[in-house]
């Protein structure tokens, strides 16, 4: 695609994001080539079919290929600590990602969400609110589980949008210089991806990049790590479980009943929500705060959140088998998510929880789960690659069993449960040791529950 001697952009990584970058650069007539450390990356066939003239380099990254590029566009799954990428950076070569490209070329306002937990749920609540208002919007960003479109594909759609709603990961934000969002929010921060970052501080700083250039920022009053680390000129909104102030959402109590509230006014009872658990109340409050910041009328916000029923694989009720409830929280891929799921479900049921957990631990410290387990869980069934490591982090008071596969885990959990109890799949781990993604893991759980009946 390039003339002789002309430098080209190098797309690093050929998954769903990488191929979306290829489509976008090709649409603009820009020259590019591709590198991927895998021998058979997921989008290779598509690239070869659609862009046969594009050079592709597979296998171990070659430093010369990187330092000879005009710019790098790095997929979020590739660490910026790769030696070849660091060498290019040392040579002053521009390093960006798909969200950075998106922010430079988008012609409509961006509403952006990040956080360790709850991103997808908050985006879906916001989407419900926007649908209710009749807004013509696009949704994209984080491709964990392939739920959303790559952001750059949204810009290639023929239809003009009034607004873009993005779920963003810390990996995507690492390569985003200035998002310039209309509204930006960090929902929460808890330990995650410590196998990718040198420290929690590095992880937090990556998340904080979402605030760069934002007109409105939304912070979690109950999590100081979501507060901007430096001064921003943006208008600030907040949400949290306490009584809200003049610029936020929160909770008020009257006659033993809890209410969602905006500023100093009750807007609806918490028990009117169709989702349960403290974490989901926080998700609703966050989405409502972001919607207000985006200029949406409060009436539309209330009606939309009243009708929101939740997402698959996120504390999703599956079945009642002989008085035992089964819940699928396969999206609980880190410790914070599992803690929230256990607490939310524990407060809702009359009995105890039998927890199914395990998978790829991503370097997490599972000791922080122990207090929650002791309060709500009668038995933990562990499976997957890091099951033994998880058990080693628990103390002797935590009752644990091991299972070789999901069907065995569900059967063992069922045998430990009794009427009034709940069996909860909330792994606190990634799924890729045994499954393609968290959806397949959740579907395996659902099928195993169906086999009990």
Active centre residues (catalytic): 119, 142, 193
Secondary-structure breakdown of the chain: helix, strand, coil percentages, each rounded to the nearest 5: 40, 20, 40
Is the Cβ–Cβ distance between 425 and 359 less than 8 Å? Answer: no
End-to-end CA distance of the chain: 59
- DSSP string covering 16-27, please? HHHHHHHHHHHH
Q: Three-state SS string across 77-89, please?
A: CCCCCCHHHHHHH
How buried is residue 258: exposed, middle or buried, by Cβ count under 10 Å (0-12/13-18/19+)? middle
| 8 Å CB contact between 98 and 277 | no
Q: Are 185 and 113 in contact (CB under 8 A)?
A: yes
Pairing relationship of beta strands 94-96 and 110-114 according to DSSP bridges: unpaired
Strand 56-58 versus strand 324-328 pairing type: unpaired
Q: Whole-angstrom Cα distance, residue 323 to residue 339?
A: 24
Quote the CA–CA distance of 84 and 82 in Å, as a whole number: 6
CB 282, CB 219: distance < 8 Å: no
DSSP string of 105-135, one letter each residue: H--S-EEEEE-SS-HHHHHHHHHHHHHHHT-
Placement of tokens 């990488």 in the chain: 18
What six digits make up the tokens of 261? 């509230």
Taken in order 80, 85, 86, 92, the sign of the CA dihedral is negative
What the block records as the tokens of 403 is 């299972």
> Rounded distance, CA 47 to CA 40, Å?
12
The secondary structure of 423-449, three-state, reads: EEECCCCECCCCCCCHHHHHHHHHHHH
In what side-by-side order are the strands of the sheet with 248-254?
137-141, 163-167, 110-114, 183-186, 216-220, 235-239, 248-254, 257-262, 265-269
């Amino acid at each position: 695609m390039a003339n002789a001697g002309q430098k080209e952009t190098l797309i690093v990584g050929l998954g769903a994001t990488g191929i979306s970058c290829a489509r976008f650069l090709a649409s603009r007539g820009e020259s590019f080539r591709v590198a991927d450390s895998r021998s058979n990356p997921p989008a290779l066939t598509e690239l070869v079919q659609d862009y046969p003239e594009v050079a592709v380099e597979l296998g171990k990254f070659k430093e010369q290929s990187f330092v000879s590029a005009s710019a790098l566009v790095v997929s979020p799954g590739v660490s910026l600590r790769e030696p070849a990428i660091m060498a290019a950076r040392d040579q002053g070569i521009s390093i960006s990602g798909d969200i950075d490209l998106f922010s430079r070329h988008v012609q409509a306002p961006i509403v952006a969400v990040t956080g360790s937990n709850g991103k997808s749920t908050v985006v879906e609540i916001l989407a419900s609110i926007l649908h209710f208002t009749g807004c013509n919007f696009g949704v994209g960003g984080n491709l964990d589980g392939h739920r959303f479109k790559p952001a750059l594909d949204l810009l290639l759609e023929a239809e003009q949008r009034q607004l873009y709603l993005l779920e963003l990961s810390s990996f995507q934000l690492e390569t985003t210089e200035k998002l310039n969002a209309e509204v930006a929010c960090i929902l929460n921060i808890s330990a995650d991806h410590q196998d990718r970052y040198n420290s929690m501080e590095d992880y937090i700083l990556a998340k904080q990049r979402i605030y760069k250039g934002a007109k409105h920022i939304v912070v979690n009053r109950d999590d100081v790590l979501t507060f901007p680390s430096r001064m921003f000129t943006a208008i600030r909104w907040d949400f949290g479980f306490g009584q809200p102030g003049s610029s936020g959402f929160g909770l008020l109590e009257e006659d033993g009943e809890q209410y969602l509230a905006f500023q100093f006014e009750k807007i609806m009872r918490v028990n009117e929500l169709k989702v349960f658990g403290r974490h989901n109340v926080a998700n609703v409050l966050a989405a409502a705060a972001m919607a207000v910041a985006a200029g949406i009328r409060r009436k539309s916000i209330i009606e939309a959140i009243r009708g929101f029923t939740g997402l698959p694989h996120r504390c999703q009720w599956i079945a009642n088998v002989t008085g035992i409830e089964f819940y699928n929280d396969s999206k609980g891929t880190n410790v914070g998510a599992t803690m929230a799921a256990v607490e939310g479900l524990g407060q809702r049921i009359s009995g105890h929880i039998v927890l199914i957990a395990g998978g790829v631990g991503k370097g997490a410290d599972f000791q922080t789960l122990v207090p929650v387990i002791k309060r709500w869980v009668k038995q933990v069934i562990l499976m997957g690659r890091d099951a033994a490591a998880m058990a080693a982090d628990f103390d002797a008071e935590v009752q644990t069993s091991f299972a070789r596969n999901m069907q065995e885990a569900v059967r063992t959990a069922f045998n430990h449960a009794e009427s009034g109890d709940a069996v909860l799949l909330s792994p606190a781990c990634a799924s890729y040791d045994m499954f393609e993604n968290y959806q397949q893991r959740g579907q395996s759980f659902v099928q195993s529950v169906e086999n009990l009946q």
